[in-house]
Every structure is written in C-alpha cells, then in structure tokens.
Amino acid sequence: MITCFIRYEIDPFRVDAFEAYAKAWGEAIPRCGADLVGYFAPHEGSATTAYGVYNIDSLAAYEAYRARLRDDPQGRENYAFAKAEGFIRREDRIFLRLASAPHEGKVTR
C-alpha cells in the first residue's frame, strides 16, 4: 500500500471553490478505486496550502485508477471546473509508504 499526498497551492480568496472541488472528489475517487483519506482546506496559518490524501495498492494500480478517473463523468467535470475557475495555482504529488505502526490512540507515559 502506498499513500498519495497532493499538496495544492490555492488562491486564498477561492477556498470555497477548492472545497467544492474536494467534495466532488469525495465521491469520484472511491468510485474509481482509491481509498480516500480526505481533502484538507486551509483553516489556520497558511491560507494558500491545501492537501488531498488517498491510499492505493501500488503505482500500477495508481495508473489504472487515473485512467478510470479521466473517464469518469464527475472526474472530467471536476477537472474542467478547476481549470475554468483557476483556483489551483500549483499541485505536487508524492507517494509515500507507511514506515511506522498506525496511530492507535492517545499516547500514555
């Protein structure tokens, strides 16, 4: 399993548009085969940084997932929405693998 972290640089005056974009991916991404962790919009601190995070089995599975997403009507619509509205200034993807045990709750000492 690998996790894709997408770092977005967004227009700080268009957070509402990014949130609409994120909501649409909340339906399309799982339908196309990835395990969506979530999309995260600015709240405090930087008003221009947002993230999308999802898990996928492998890079080969990622390529198949991306093809399904491109063919998905909601996926195409969401890509077109982002392009037309211009609220995403930049996006970077990185694929990471879990190197520790998953978090299991409150740490006690």
Q: Considering the entire predicted model, what is its pTM?
A: 0.86
Instruction: Tell me, yes or no, whether 40 lies in a domain.
Output: yes
C-alpha span between 109 and 66 (Å, rounded): 44
Residue 83 dihedral angles phi and psi, to the nearest 5°: -65, -45
Question: Would you say 39 and 22 are in contact if contact means Cβ atoms under 8 Å apart?
Answer: yes
Instruction: Tell me, yes or no, whether 104 lies in a domain.
Output: no
Res 93: pLDDT: 96
Res 104: pLDDT: 65
**CATH code for the domain in which residue 35 is found:** 3.30.70.100
Tens of pLDDT along the chain (109 residues) come to: 999 999 999 999 999 999 999 999 999 999 999 999 999 999 988 899 999 999 999 999 999 999 999 999 999 999 999 999 999 999 999 999 999 877 666 655 5
Residue 18 dihedral angles phi and psi, to the nearest 5°: -60, -40
* Identity at 46, one-letter amino acid code: S
Instruction: Tell me, yes or no, whether 48 lies in a domain.
Output: yes
Number of domains in the chain: 1
Q: Supply the range of the domain harboring residue 72.
A: 2-92
Res 45: pLDDT: 86
Instruction: Tell me, yes or no, whether 86 lies in a domain.
Output: yes
Res 101: pLDDT: 76
Instruction: Tell me, yes or no, whether 97 lies in a domain.
Output: no
Instruction: Tell me, yes or no, whether 55 lies in a domain.
Output: yes
Instruction: Tell me, yes or no, whether 106 lies in a domain.
Output: no
Instruction: Tell me, yes or no, whether 51 lies in a domain.
Output: yes
* Coil/strand/helix, residue 79: helix
